């Protein structure tokens, strides 16, 4: 995972429905395509987020993780969407053999679960999301990695502020500003 910028926003997702809501909000931010990385451990909600996004774009069928096929194309959607799951990728060079670069079109949306498995072959995402299960909810963090991603991140923030089952997590800097105290030493 890239560390070029800090996580720009953190949100708590109360349940699976809220995780799908995250995906639906993300769909509204990606109407012109983009490259989005989904990080997180097994069961964190990456595929649930993708399902929410794909349904919001108009897909009516089942959405399953393409763990064994590596990619599930949704070419009838606008934008065309490609859902990748690289969990079972043995060598990043396999991406070259499957023609990965052909999917990276400016007008297509590529969602990539387990992008760290394709390190060195994927390029820089527009937006990175990290999902992390907690005892009672899921935590999602995101950060833009491009100009396009900055627009996506700002639009996503605006959409999540009014989403049911989603609540913002204040950063330590925001807490310090609101209380007048700083965590910095």
Residue 54 confidence (pLDDT)? 97
Percent of the chain scored above 90 by pLDDT? 64
**At the top level of CATH, which class does the domain 9-170 belong to?**
alpha beta
Q: Where are the domains of the chain?
A: 9-170
Tokens of 68: 């064994």
- The mean pLDDT value for 126-151 works out to 94
Q: Do 110 and 38 form a contact (C-beta atoms < 8 A)?
A: no
Burial classification of residue 64, based on how many CB atoms lie within 10 Å of its CB (0-12 exposed, 13-18 middle, 19 or more buried): middle
For the stretch 11-63, pLDDT in tens is: 999 999 999 999 999 999 999 999 999 999 999 999 999 999 999 999 998 88
Considering the chain, what is the average pLDDT of its residues? Answer: 88
For the stretch 157-180, pLDDT in tens is: 999 998 988 988 865 445 445 555
Q: Do 115 and 125 form a contact (C-beta atoms < 8 A)?
A: yes
């Amino acid at each position: 995972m890239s560390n070029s910028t800090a996580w720009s926003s953190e949100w708590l997702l109360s349940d699976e429905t809220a995780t799908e809501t995250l995906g639906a909000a993300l769909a509204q931010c990606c109407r012109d395509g983009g490259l989005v990385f989904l990080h997180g451990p097994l069961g964190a909600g990456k595929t649930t987020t993708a399902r929410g996004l794909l349904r919001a774009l108009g897909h009516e069928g089942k959405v399953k993780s393409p763990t064994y096929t590596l990619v599930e194309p949704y070419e009838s959607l606008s934008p065309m969407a490609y859902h990748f799951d690289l969990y079972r990728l043995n060598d990043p060079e396999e991406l070259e053999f499957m023609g990965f670069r052909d999917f990276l079109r400016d007008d297509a949306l590529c969602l990539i679960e387990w992008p760290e498995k394709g390190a060195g072959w994927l390029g820089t995402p527009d937006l990175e999301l990290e999902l992390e299960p907690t005892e009672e909810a899921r935590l999602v963090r995101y950060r833009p990695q491009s100009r396009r991603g900055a627009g996506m991140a700002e639009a996503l923030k605006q959409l999540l502020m009014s989403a049911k089952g989603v609540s913002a997590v204040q950063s330590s800097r925001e807490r310090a500003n609101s209380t007048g105290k700083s965590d910095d030493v």
